[in-house]
Each structure stands twice: as structure tokens, then as C-alpha cells.
Chain A
């Protein structure tokens, strides 16, 4: 199975900061990479699909990029409501998830 490694595991940033979360696959996943936001007690919510496509209804401050094995989720200006855990997920082959980045406000 493809291993997905997310970094950092915890990120603390200030409101208004530009924030970058990383996800590295153990092999090429051909951009079949989704990003999810999960708040406490809720189901994961799709933010970005297939690397760089913004899901309907998601604020434009969220964006994704990457290729091959390396992928990034960027929040251009961090808002208080962005406090959550973020997961990457590959569905190029047998699906696997990253272990998550917990995003906190300083």
C-alpha cells in the first residue's frame, strides 16, 4: 500500500498567516490526492480534490498543488474557523490516508 506522510503533525499559526501543510506519498499517485478538514466530532469535509480542484462551497483561501509524490495544501489567510485537523488521502490505487496535521491558532 502507498504510505502517506503528512507534516507537520501540529502547526500553530496566527490569524491572517499564510499556512502550508505537506503530504508526501511513498510513490507516484498521479495527482489523485484529496484534502479533508475535520473538526472535532464531525465527519471529514472535502476541501480539495485531485490535487488542486476546490470543492464547491469551500472558501478560496484554500488551495492545493503538487505532483508525483509531493503535495501541498495552502491557506492564504488563516481564519479562526480553520482550526481543525487536515488529512490528505490518495485514491490513485488502494486508498490510503495521511495521519493528519492539527492546525491551531496562536
Chain B
């Protein structure tokens, strides 16, 4: 069955970076893009962008350009999102989801930014 397994919770200091992973299984990894979504209590759900898992091409929400960097490792069927120059506003749960249909989501990764 299709599964997206995300890495564990992160506690990071302001100004630092974190890299979240999303390991796919149960399907051909390069047949579907991977999208990333941010969820906060205040802003709700925001679409960050997606990565073409075959070519590595990316497309970002303007709001997240310079903040999020999406990459992929085809050999391990894993997508990554790096968040840089972290501020408390980056504290959120981040999800990966398989694009085209958006039926399958990871379990979420909680990122907490605090000094």
C-alpha cells in the first residue's frame, strides 16, 4: 500500500535550518510529484510547492521562495524539504503529499522554532 513516512519532530533555534524527509513506498516513486504543505493554527493549511520526483524540477508558492528548498533522492524514494533562516513563524506541522489526487499524505512533522 502507498505510504509516505516523514521524519520526526524537530526543535530548532532561530536562524538555523532543518531538513525534513518523506520516504515513499508502495508505488513507483518517480511517477508522482511530491507536494509539501504547512499547517498552523493561525494560518491554516498552506501549499508550499512541489517537486517533480523524476526530473527534480520544483515550483514554489511565492510566499515560500527562499524559505523552503525541495529536493529528492530517487535511489531511496525520498523527498526532502529544507527550511532555512528559521523564525518562530516557521513553527508548524509540515506534511508531504503525493500529488495528482492528493490522496496520500505523510503523518506530518512538527517543527518548533524556539531559542
A and B associate? yes
Residues of A within 8 A of B (CB): 34, 43-46, 49, 55, 87, 89, 91, 94-97, 99-100
Q: Is the pair B47, A46 in contact by a Cβ cutoff of 8 Å?
A: no
- Inter-chain contacts of A44 with B (CB < 8 A): 45, 95, 105
Residues of B within 8 A of A (CB): 35, 37, 44-47, 61, 95, 101-103, 105-108
Interchain nearest-CB distance for B38 vs A (Å): 10
Interchain nearest-CB distance for B21 vs A (Å): 16
Q: What residue of chain A has the Cβ atom nearest to residue B93's Cβ?
A: A43
Q: What residue of chain B has the Cβ atom nearest to residue A44's Cβ?
A: B105
Provide 16 A-B residue pairs closer than 8 Å at the C-beta atoms, listed in order of the A residue.
Answer: A43-B95, A43-B106, A43-B108, A44-B45, A44-B105, A46-B103, A55-B103, A87-B44, A87-B45, A89-B45, A89-B102, A94-B47, A95-B35, A95-B102, A97-B45, A99-B44
Q: What residue of chain B has the Cβ atom nearest to residue A41's Cβ?
A: B108
Q: Is the pair B47, A97 in contact by a Cβ cutoff of 8 Å?
A: yes
Interchain nearest-CB distance for B43 vs A (Å): 9
With A94-B47, A95-B47 already in contact, 4 other A-B pairs whose C-beta atoms are closer than 8 Å: A45-B105, A55-B103, A89-B45, A95-B102
The distance in angstroms between the C-alpha atoms of A45 and B47, with both chains bound, is 16
The distance in angstroms between the C-alpha atoms of A9 and B52, with both chains bound, is 35
The distance in angstroms between the C-alpha atoms of A45 and B102, with both chains bound, is 10
- Inter-chain contacts of B102 with A (CB < 8 A): 34, 46, 49, 89, 91, 95
Task: Known contacts A43-B95, A49-B101; decide if A96 and B106 are in contact (CB<8 Å).
Answer: no
The distance in angstroms between the C-alpha atoms of A94 and B102, with both chains bound, is 13
Q: Is the pair A97, B44 in contact by a Cβ cutoff of 8 Å?
A: yes
The distance in angstroms between the C-alpha atoms of A94 and B44, with both chains bound, is 16
Interchain nearest-CB distance for B27 vs A (Å): 15
